[in-house]
Amino acid sequence: MLFEADLEEPRVLPLPCGAAAIFSRPNPVFEKPNQDAAAVIPAGPDDVILVVADGMGGTRQGGAAAATVIRQIAGKFPVEPDELLVRTAILNGIEEANQKVLAEFPSSGTTLAAVEIKNHTIRPYHVGDSVIIVVGQRGKLKLQTISHSPVGFAMEAGLLDEKEALQHDERHIISNAVGLAEMRIELGAPLELARHDTVLLASDGLTDNLRLEEIVDHIRTGPLQKGLAELATLARKRMNDPAPGKPSKPDDLTILAYRREG
């Protein structure tokens, strides 16, 4: 398992049928430990799980909660490379992490975005407002998770557009997280990846500072490591130097992406 909570530059990992790139840095404005965490977890010869967790609570417990959910999922592997067993292992890992966070870090919690990749098929799992996006080489958006938040649901219902959501005073409020007694796991349907499709998982340090079209434009084509570096540079610039009409919300920033090549 590769587990990261702090990386100065995007790191690239070769994976079955493609490659992944990962970046994670703490809030550049307010000095505190990075509460985000990310991992690439082998789950079988042709099976891998990507995970991003965004710890909450404003203390070191947020980072501990994020690390807990990743370690609980990773602790379920290896299992027999059977689709049902892998899915059950992921769900059990998240459920057990929820109980552990409730017991050990009661003042904190964490979001979760996870994707199982098997051959050319993915299945998304998410809790909270960390995002999962799948985009084609020509920029077609094939998947975007809905944030478990009042603002996210208002966008889905057409009550807010993206610009209004990015400027909303309550965009930081979420209604679902690991560490809540009523936590729910949103399990998506399997999605077949075409060649050169890109899967991106990110904490809200990305989506609170860049518009969707900006994210898509940087990751749809070109070297994956370069695209992540550009996203990270632009997001952190907006955190440091707010500009009129541009989104800006200083936060930890974690991005994990995978591109199908085979």
Please give the DSSP secondary-structure letter assigned to residue 106: T
Domain count within the chain = 1
Q: pLDDT by residue (tens digit) across 157-170?
A: 777 676 666 666 66
Tell me the angle at which helices 224-240 and 212-219 cross, rounded to the nearest 10 degrees: 150
How confident is the model at residue 155, as a pLDDT? 67
Structural domain containing residue 253: 2-260
Structure tokens at 58: 């404003």
How confident is the model at residue 52, as a pLDDT? 97
Dist CA 50 CA 64 (whole Å):
18
* CATH code, 120: 3.60.40.10
Structure tokens at 8: 């100065």
Structure tokens at 89: 């292992």
Statement: residue 153 has pLDDT above 90: no
- Considering only residues 93 and 5, tell me which one the structure prediction assigns the higher pLDDT: 93
CB count in 10 Å sphere of residue 139: 12
Dist CA 222 CA 14 (whole Å):
16
Statement: residue 22 has pLDDT above 60: yes
